[in-house]
Amino acid sequence: EVQLEESGGGLVQPGGSLRLSCAASGFTFNNFWLSWVRQAPGKGLEWVANINQDGREKFYVDSVKGRFTISRDNAKNSLFLQMSSLRAEDTAVYYCARDSGSASYYSWGRGTLVTVSS
């Protein structure tokens, strides 16, 4: 069974940094693209970033470019999102998702809440 479990969320002040992690199990980790998708409170889903199998290709939504960095450790079956210069509008539940092909996501984690507030 595919499992994805996010961690690392919490309360951070504007301008601060936070590192999210996603621990994966139940599949061959280094065979798949992985993504971060977020959802602001009461709002819709927003794709944030994705990374290819070997970690060399990374793509971001415009609003986080230069502030967020996606990475992965295939030896530890883990995905990361390093977030810096955080803004109030980054407040959201952040989901880790496994790309199922054709920009679709069959497997999702439960999410971790990031709150940016003073």
Partner 1 sequence: QSALTQPPSASGSPGQSVTISCAGTSSDVGGYDSVSWYQQHPNKAPRLLIYEVYKRPSGVPARFSGSKSGNTASLTVSGLQAADEADYYCSSYGGNNNVLFGGGTKLTVL
Strand, helix or coil at 26? coil
Q: 12, 32, 34, 50: which one contacts partner 1 (CB under 8 A)?
A: 50
Shortest approach of partner 1 to residue 13 CB, angstroms? 26
Rounded CA separation 60/44 (Å): 18
Shortest approach of partner 1 to residue 42 CB, angstroms? 10
51-70 binders of partner 1 (CB under 8 A): 57, 59, 61-62
- Please classify residue 104 by burial: count the beta carbons closer than 10 Å to its beta carbon, then call 0-12 exposed, 13-18 middle and 19+ buried: exposed
Shortest approach of partner 1 to residue 106 CB, angstroms? 5
